Amino acid sequence: MSRTFHFERLDDQRIVIPRHGAMRVDGVVYASAGLARRALDEAALAQVANVACLPGILGPSLAMPDIHWGYGFPIGGVAAFDTAEGVISPGGVGYDINCGVRLLRSDLTEGEVRPRVEDLVAALFATVPTGVGSHQRGLRLSREDMARVARDGAAWAVAQGHGDAQDLLYLEEGGRIRGADFGECSERAFERGRDQLGTLGSGNHFCEIEVVDEVYDEETARAFGLSRGTVTVMIHTGSRGFGHQVCTDYIPVMDRAARAAGISLPDRQLACAPIRSEEGRRYVAAMAAAANYAFANRQVITHEVRSAFESVLGRGSGDLGLRVVYDVAHNIAKFERHRVGGRDLEVCVHRKGATRALPAGHPDVPEAYRDVGQPVLVPGDMGRVSYVLVGAPRALDETFGSSCHGAGRLLSRNQAVKKGRGRDIRKELERQGVSVRAAGSETLAEEMPDAYKDVSDVVEVVHAAGVARKVARLRPIGVIKG
């Protein structure tokens, strides 16, 4: 790219934005030479530098190789803050709180599924509500139910018959962030979320049938229940209108709190509050409520996916072997313990378009995976592959236990629609062996493969950097989009 924004090459996988001006720390972006040349957005790099100006930031302001411009923080951004002196910012979490990915594995082979893939895609499209108006087919919750969902997360869905208790063993934080308080969420947030549980939504959200077409680490893949030629299902969605409204409600609250605390912001979109302030406490409680809603949402959709497979294939769930591999949040701020400057500290880690990536032996890795490490789920676009990685030790040393979350956009949605004019994206994908159903043709144009970086290039950076290691590659054969 032609650039005016100054950065330097740190090593083969990283560039550094040296501390300057109001920056309190350096900025570090994971990007190979190829990605830096083809796919680094200067506006997103400026956001990395802006985040480095926030009070209490520890270590560098980070971004993963799927970085692109976002609200306040870049998407792909990671930043950790001291809990005594630091701040929390809705822009560091995003509007879709706990947008995340869940992966299901199965005992099915591609040979068993391929002849029925169009029927399966149709059944998923009929069973899993999609699109902007999908609230019309979601569960309708009372205020009491919403409060329980906000408190209990995926466990609420399991208690209502959407899956079983075994599923909870394979979710980040067991599918429940502690400290949630539905009382800190507005009436408007309740109204927007009450009938959207169990819905996929629109935009880049999807449910995808995939085949494991490459295994890089046999031992870890076996621990995750993955083997070459078998079928998986990936679910990507978040907290729907509930989380969006929580963010919308708290941005002006945090803006006032920042001014009251005398915090000078390089960008108003970085509105924040001291973590220990009343405004910070309230946002954390409301954010956790929305995060738990998202865990419950993916749990209900998991049940819907199993039902669709059972219906089409005429086999019971146990026979299909559709069990959860893992569920990981992409947009979250969490209180975690990390070693910083030789000290073991509790810090608040903002991950916006980034996933947790913990190595073997870490106490927060599910017991079933403790000996190999935490699964890291990295979806690609509809026409290319996705990856399963595993957390590696350098993530704790360099990225506060974080890795990339996907391919990362190259084109805005408007740019993608313009590029897609006159093309039949559905037929293009079908020629590649991918059956697709979507709420509208514009969604397919917005989300076409050309709109994204090649996820293989992104994954190679974190793999080579030792942040997360490649375990398996997944090839799409059927997709539903909002």
Q: Cβ(288)–Cβ(179) under 8 Å?
A: yes
3 state DSSP class of 212: strand
pLDDT score, position 4: 57
Other residues' Cβ atoms within 10 Å of the Cβ of residue 119 = 16
| Beta bridge partners of residue 17, listed in sequence order | 27
What whole-number distance in Å separates Cα of residue 93 and Cα of residue 273? 14
Would you say residue 412 lies in a domain? Answer: yes
Q: Does any domain span residue 297?
A: yes
Query: What whole-number distance in Å separates Cα of residue 129 and Cα of residue 125?
Result: 7
Q: Under a CB-based contact definition with an 8 Å cutoff, are residues 295 and 246 in contact?
A: no
CA 453 – CA 394 distance, rounded (Å): 24
Q: Specify if 195 maps to a domain.
A: yes
> Among residues 236, 350, 405, 463, which one is catalytic?
405
Amino acid 1: pLDDT: 41
Quick one: how far is CA 277 from the chain centroid?
28
Q: Give the start-end residues of each E strand in 12-96.
A: 14-17, 27-30, 57-68, 75-82, 87-88
- On whether the CB atoms of residues 327 and 69 are closer than 8 A, the answer is no
235 DSSP β-pair partners: 102, 207
Number of domains in the chain: 1
Looking at residue 442, what is its pLDDT? Answer: 79
Asked if 405 is an active-site residue, the reply is: yes
Is 2 a domain residue? no
On whether residue 1 sits in a domain, the answer given is no
Domain that holds residue 133: 8-481
* Domain presence at residue 197: yes
CATH code of the domain covering residue 154: 3.90.1860.10
In sequence order, what are the residues at sequence separation of 6 or more whose Cβ sits closer than 8 angstroms to the Cβ of residue 194? 140, 141, 142, 143, 146
Does residue 26 belong to any structural domain of this protein?
yes
What pLDDT does residue 219 have? Answer: 97
The residue ranges of the chain whose pLDDT is under 50 are 1-3, 134-135
